[in-house]
Amino acid sequence: FTSECMSATMAGVRRPPDNFINREPRKKTFFHDSLEPPRLVASHLSGRQPLLDLIRHSTPKTLIIYIYRDPTDRLMSAIRYVLKRRFCVKDAVERGWMPPRSAKEYEKLNVTVNDDGTCLVPERQFLARFVATGFAELGYNP
């Protein structure tokens, strides 16, 4: 969502990377490189500090909309996303969907992706090796 939202509002302008507001050097560059900030900034927050910084650097005309998402709902959504976009993809490691540091654990998991698109993932091992360790999007639970 944030990628699409930022792309649509920043036509012709270099769009910041996804969730840039959580990364200190990129956040400072974004807030200080232009006299006129973009009309819309969309980002997920990975803690309290990015929101506090956004408030601190806002102008009197800034409208900030913060939506709290229940952590259980967010985690279930992240699990669905990770399974669909990273695990249940043929040749996930070769295509770069699996970070190199996680590729060995992924290979041990023996994920099966069938030609009809069904995906078989050993649940206990997935939960222990990836969900419990905060793999990729599963680790963004503030």
114 or 98: which carries more pLDDT confidence?
114
> Is pLDDT of 42 > 80?
no
Distance CA(19)–CA(70), nearest Å, equals 19
- Kindly report the pTM of this predicted structure: 0.58
Q: What is the pLDDT of residue 45?
A: 78
How confident is the model at residue 17, as a pLDDT? 63
- Name the band, by pLDDT with cuts 50, 70 and 90, for residue 142: very low
**Rounded Cα–Cα distance for residues 107 and 116 (Å):** 21
Q: Which residue has the tokens 């990015």?
A: 50
Tell me how long the chain is.
Answer: 142
Per-chain mean pLDDT for the chain: 77
30 pLDDT band (50/70/90 cuts)? low
Task: Supply the pLDDT for residue 44.
Answer: 76
Q: How confident is the model at residue 120 (pLDDT cuts 50, 70, 90)?
A: very high
Asked if residue 60 has pLDDT above 70, the reply is yes
